């Protein structure tokens, strides 16, 4: 499992996690969101949008943390909302699944039905590609003499280097994307690459973060001040 896909424990956590997932896919996401235009007004659990080559993409998402299968009338409601609000797609995520009538209703429509696990699996490859490009962009900022000196010093430590142990696979991403060998997740599907994912990430300032899946590792690298800490070390040691 690359992205942690355990079903959230409450309806609110489900909405927040789905909204956060779309944020990490490069969307602007809101939960809940009031959709209003001249034709209709309603509240949706999650609204996600972004521009793709200048074309707006709008997605409506309903999160059903129910102990029963989602019935057909919920699907009809989503079809109406997507059409009248002018969204591209409607997604319904269910804890338990969907009634047979509901599943047949979405045929030849722009409505997608998923359990939470199915939702994550469907979008996971796109999510990985976004994270790879973010990591590549951030690592590209370190093309400097100080950075090269720091890496040489860490490489000399071999297995004693916390940096190489914890971030060796990120350096692999950067090197391969820079060479043009890797442009997407398909080049990182082999076991050798995923075996480099650490169980714990040690930060230069002494912080320790546990990592269950690749999603945690990407998130730690992109969202924390790890790069600032390394930059500070480079400046202080190799100035």
pLDDT of 211 reads 72
Mean pLDDT to the nearest integer, 157-173: 64
DSSP assignment of 65-124, as one string? --SSPBPHHHHHHHHHHHHHHT-SEEEEEESS-B-HHHHHHTTTSSEEEEEHHHHHHHHH
Helix/strand/coil for 201: strand
Mean pLDDT to the nearest integer, 183-199: 59
**Tokens of residue 138, six digits:** 């951030």
Helix/strand/coil for 147: helix
Query: What confidence tens digit (pLDDT) does each residue in 208-227 have?
Result: 777 776 677 677 766 666 66
User: Distance between CA atoms of 183 and 173, rounded to whole angstroms?
Assistant: 10
pTM surpassing 0.85?
no
pLDDT of 131 above 70: yes
User: Distance between CA atoms of 216 and 214, rounded to whole angstroms?
Assistant: 5
Q: For 175-239, where are the E strands, in sequence order?
A: 200-202, 208-210
Full set of structural domains in the chain with CATH:
11-123 (3.40.1350.10), 141-237 (no CATH)
């Amino acid at each position: 499992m690359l992205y942690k896909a355990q079903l959230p424990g409450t309806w609110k956590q489900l909405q927040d996690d789905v909204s956060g997932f779309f944020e990490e896919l490069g969307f602007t996401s809101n939960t809940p969101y009031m959709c209003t235009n001249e034709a209709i007004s309603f509240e949706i659990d999650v609204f996600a949008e972004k521009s793709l080559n200048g074309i707006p993409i709008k997605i409506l998402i309903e999160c059903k943390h129910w102990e029963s299968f989602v019935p057909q009338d919920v699907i009809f409601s989503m079809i109406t909302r997507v059409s009248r609000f002018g969204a591209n797609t409607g997604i319904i995520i269910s804890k338990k699944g969907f009634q047979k009538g509901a599943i047949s209703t979405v045929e030849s429509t722009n409505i997608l039905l998923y359990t939470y696990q199915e939702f994550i699996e469907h979008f996971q490859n796109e999510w990985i590609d976004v994270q790879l490009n973010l990591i590549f962009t951030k690592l590209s900022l370190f093309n400097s003499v100080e950075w090269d000196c720091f890496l040489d010093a860490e490489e000399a430590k071999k297995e004693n280097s916390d940096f190489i142990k914890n971030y060796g696979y990120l350096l692999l991403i950067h090197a391969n994307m820079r060479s043009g060998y890797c442009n997407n997740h398909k080049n990182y599907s082999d076991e050798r690459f995923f075996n480099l994912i650490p169980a714990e990430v040690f930060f230069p300032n002494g912080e320790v973060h546990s990592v269950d899946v690749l999603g945690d590792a990407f998130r730690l690298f992109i969202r924390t001040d790890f790069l600032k800490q390394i930059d500070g070390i480079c400046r202080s040691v190799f100035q």
